Amino acid sequence: MVVLVSSAIVTTPSEDAAETVRDALANLPVGALAGAHSVRGVLPVARVLGPAALAYVSDDGFRSAAGGLTVEQLPGGHPELRELENLAGAGDSGEAGLSEITSPAFVIREEGEVVAAAGYRSWPSRTAHVSVLTAPAWRGQGLARATGSGAVAHALAAGLLPQWRARVPASRRVALALGFRELGAQLSVELA
């Protein structure tokens, strides 16, 4: 379920699921579709992912944030990015989605090792879905902001609309620091 401003779209894996979901959600207000509690109240939910805030930035709102850090570019499929994902762990790596980027990766190294990276995956309608990952020992030092800034600047230069999806408060703060505005939310559920 994706809610943007006052509109929503809900996708399902089958027609049967669509009928169940359509009937259950028909009486919920649009804003409630991104709330796990609201959705659990009307659907048989086995598992929930989210909600996650959806934020967007334009050229006018973007605030670059290199912060004096050296940010390098690597190809999106570079093996050092897989090493960072291993360092961060499966949960954080899966949430970040760095393995799915189609852009170059913008990275910061410490002692020769990639400790933070960002990039984006090109989506339909000229959207750039931003992915950011920082190794746990290096969080809170502005590395996500610096690498994210590189990815966002690259996307804007390519004429794309950067999208930032975040569940974790720290990630939401990074997006806001870069000038992103939260315009909606996403909630994923697995039906029981």
Domains and CATH numbers, the chain: 2-53 (no CATH), 56-183 (3.40.630.30)
- Work out the mean pLDDT of the chain and round it to a whole number: 94
The pLDDT of residue 49 is above 80: yes
Q: How far apart, in Å, are the Cα atoms of 85 and each of 8, 26, 80, 98? A: 32, 40, 9, 8
Torsion of CA 183, 153, 91, 122, to 10 degrees: 80
Residue 110 or residue 66, greater confidence = 110
Q: Tell me if the pTM is above 0.75.
A: yes
- The 3-state DSSP class for residue 11 equals coil
pLDDT band per the 50, 70, 90 thresholds, residue 67: confident
Distance, in Å, from the CA atom of 146 to the CA atom of 64, rounded to the nearest integer, reads 8
Per-residue pLDDT at 174: 96
Query: What is the tens place of the pLDDT at every residue in 127-163?
Result: 999 999 999 999 999 999 999 999 999 999 999 999 9
pLDDT band per the 50, 70, 90 thresholds, residue 86: very high
